[in-house]
Structure 1
Amino acid sequence: MNFVAWMIVSCEVAFWVVIILGLTVRYLLRKERLGFLLLAFTPIIDLILLIITGFDLYRGSIATPAHAIAAVYIGVSIVFGKSIIAWADERFRYYIVKQGDKPIKRYGNDYARHYLKSWLKHVLAYAIGIGCLFGLIYLVQDPERTEALTSTIRWWSRVLGIDLLITIAYFVWPKKAPIRHKNND
């Protein structure tokens, strides 16, 4: 595995470590500001990854799928980072600290609308990630060295289209709540 691939793995691990550490400090140690500061550190992890990826390509490396995945990771993390933190926060409060409401499960049109909002976020993550990919392609200025980046643009475009079809399907065939059986003991 090359250096950039290791950095992606390291950044993903660091992202979750910072979230867990931030929530632990916030709720278990009751240090609200320090917990917020740790949670606010997550975008800096993305910036570090972008700088490392750009520098690696700038100094002559041939783009690999790892370089492309770094751009995808950055777009997804920037757009979904806040909602991922909110998701983790809600579950941490309920399951670990035993406070707050139980996380809700969505069904029917509520689930479909929620998934549509998620798809719109996917579009924004796509725009940011594709912007990073085009920026890296422009930085390198060598189509042979950036084929992995242009290939990622093509497959991510297909993934975005498939996600749109899934989104539409949830409106046509809404997700049903599980059937609860009466316990006849």
Structure 2
Amino acid sequence: MNIIVVAIVACEIGFWAVLGAGLGARYLLRMRRLSSVLLLCVPLLDLLLLTLITWDLVVNGTTADFAHGLGAVYLGFTVAFGHQIIGRADGWFAHRFAGGPPPFKAPKSGSAQVRYEWQQWGKMLLCAVIASVVLGGIILLVGDTSRTAELTGWIGRVWLVTGIWLIGWPVWVTVSGGGKEPEPGEVSNQGSH
């Protein structure tokens, strides 16, 4: 089995385990300091994955494959969306175990939906930039285009997804009228899907 695939899966499991432990310490055990320390460990998983990818390609002399590119994009995703994921999990825990307000729900109409979709795409744009920088940095470190062709391909893939996301969500919601404010008294059935 590919060591990078194992590392990506381990990082994802580790992310949820550390997040759950941190939020459990905060809301169930009421140990805020321990919670903060655990939650600060989340970025260490990204650093470990980046180190492993770089080590495998630079030190081991491995030829980049699908998993190496996926790992770099995974890093971009966790940096760009990680805070939001942690915040939503924190909101759910606070609601469930500490009497906090109901968890956040994405707006389904109006200018709030338009703003939300553009903000989400902004995070995807950040993900694409981070992934491209990581991929480009590794390509430069390896210094052998025959071994890093797969990584170059991943740069194109992440920007293709970013472009599709742009057109399919924020632009579509903005120009299709999905962002119109509901009429007074109008009942929206968008929440029933």
TM-score, structure 1 length as denominator? 0.91
Q: What residue number does 1:168 align with?
A: 171
Supply the AA of the counterpart residue of 1:152: W
Counterpart code for 1:110: A
**Aligned AA (2:171):** I
Change (3 A) 1:162 1:101: same
* Maintained 8 Å contact 2:27/2:98: no
Q: Where does structure 1 lack aligned partners over 5 or more consecutive residues?
A: none
Structure 1 position 85 matched with structure 2 position 86: yes
Residues 179, 163 of structure 1: CA spacing in aligned structure 2 closer, same or farther, 3 A cutoff?
Answer: closer
Q: Which residue in the other structure is 2:38 paired with?
A: 38
Alpha-carbon distance between aligned partners in 1 of 2:147 and 2:137, rounded to the nearest angstrom = 14
Matches within 5 A, 1:52-67: 52-58=52-58, 59-67=60-68
Q: CA, structure 1 residues 138+39, in 2 after alignment: closer, same or farther (shift >3 Å)?
A: same
Tell me the TM-score normalised to structure 2 length: 0.88
Q: Which string of whole-angstrom CA distances, capped at 9 and with x for unpartnered residues, describes residues 118-160 of structure 1?
A: 1111111111110000011111111111111011111111101
Change (3 A) 1:145 1:168: same
Quote the Cα distance in structure 1 between the aligned partners of 2:104 and 2:67: 36
Runs of 4+ in 1 over 4 A off after TM superposition: none
Q: Is the 8 A contact 2:80 2:123 kept in 1?
A: yes
Question: In structure 1, how many angstroms separate the alpha carbons of the residues matched to 2:73 and 2:104?
Answer: 29
Distance across 2 between alignment mates of 1:7 and 1:180: 38
Distance 2:47 2:70 in 1: 14
Q: How far apart are the structure 1 equivalents of 2:166 and 2:138?
A: 27
Bigger shift: residues 124-133 or 167-176: 167-176
Alignment of 1:67-146 (within 5 A): 67-94=68-95, 96-97=96-97, 99-105=99-105, 106-108=107-109, 109-146=111-148
- Alignment partner of 1:135: what SS? helix
- 2:99 counterpart SS class: coil
The whole-number CA distance in structure 2 between the counterparts of 1:39 and 1:17 is 10
Q: Note the alpha carbon deviations across 1:33-72, whole angstroms, 9 max, x for none.
A: 1101111111110000000000000121010111111111
The 1-side partners of 2:157 and 2:136 are apart by 15
Counterpart AA for 1:143: T
2:23 corresponds to 1:23: yes
- CA–CA distance in structure 1, aligned partners of residues 2 and 47 of structure 2: 19
Q: Structure 1 pair 156/21, CA: closer, same or farther in 2 (3 Å)? A: same
User: Aligned equivalents of 1:70 and 1:82: distance in 2?
Assistant: 19
> Matched residue pairs, number?
180
Q: CA RMSD in A?
A: 1.7
Unaligned runs of 5+ in 2: 183-187
Q: What is the aligned partner in structure 1 of residue 185 from structure 2?
A: none
